[in-house]
Structure 1
């Protein structure tokens, strides 16, 4: 699901962000960046599982946003996802607080 607020766009990500969902997720991000919003928010509160393909999809979303001139913000990531992103060395990329 996607919507606009102020100068940004929100994508509500739901269910598993895994190999089976990664291509759909990327297509959704690409659509949300046309035209580029000031900020693209990924609301992750309804995500139930993320595998390495999902992490790769988040990194790709960051790159797509950056190339479009938008800022990507992860909203409401689970504690498990934050730990995984920290372990993968992606704290700085996603502007997450240090442990």
Structure 2
């Protein structure tokens, strides 16, 4: 399916990346590049809206971890918004919920 990315400002501050489709090997580098661009200049927080993401593989998880690290280095904070229950299960299985400040169960 691919991945569509849209960057926009957020009322009250910060920047939002709205992702739609599959976050997988084929688009992980493009996602990272989008995050890098959205962090110039660093917003107080970078929100990644995941409500329309239908699939995430290990490369996609790696891209989310990279996004977290990029935001930290930029002095910003990465917030994952509206992950599906399937994505939450994947993040829990991978031991990543704490990294992203998501509920453990």
If the TM-score is normalised by the length of the shorter chain, which range does it land in? Answer: over 0.9
Whole-Å separation in 1 of the counterparts to 2:32 and 2:104? 27
* 1:14-93 alignment, distance < 5 Å: 14-93=20-99
Q: Which runs of 5+ in 1 are unaligned?
A: none
Aligned structure 1 segments of 4 or more residues deviating by more than 2 angstroms: none
1:7 Cα shift?
2.1
* 2:19 alignment counterpart: 13
Superposition TM-score, scaled by structure 2 size: 0.92
Secondary structure of residue in 2 paired with 1:10: strand
Q: Which structure 2 residue ranges, 5 or more long, are not aligned?
A: 1-5
Count of aligned residue pairs for this structure pair? 99
2:9 to 4, 12, 15: 4
Q: How far 1:98 moved relative to its partner?
A: 1.7
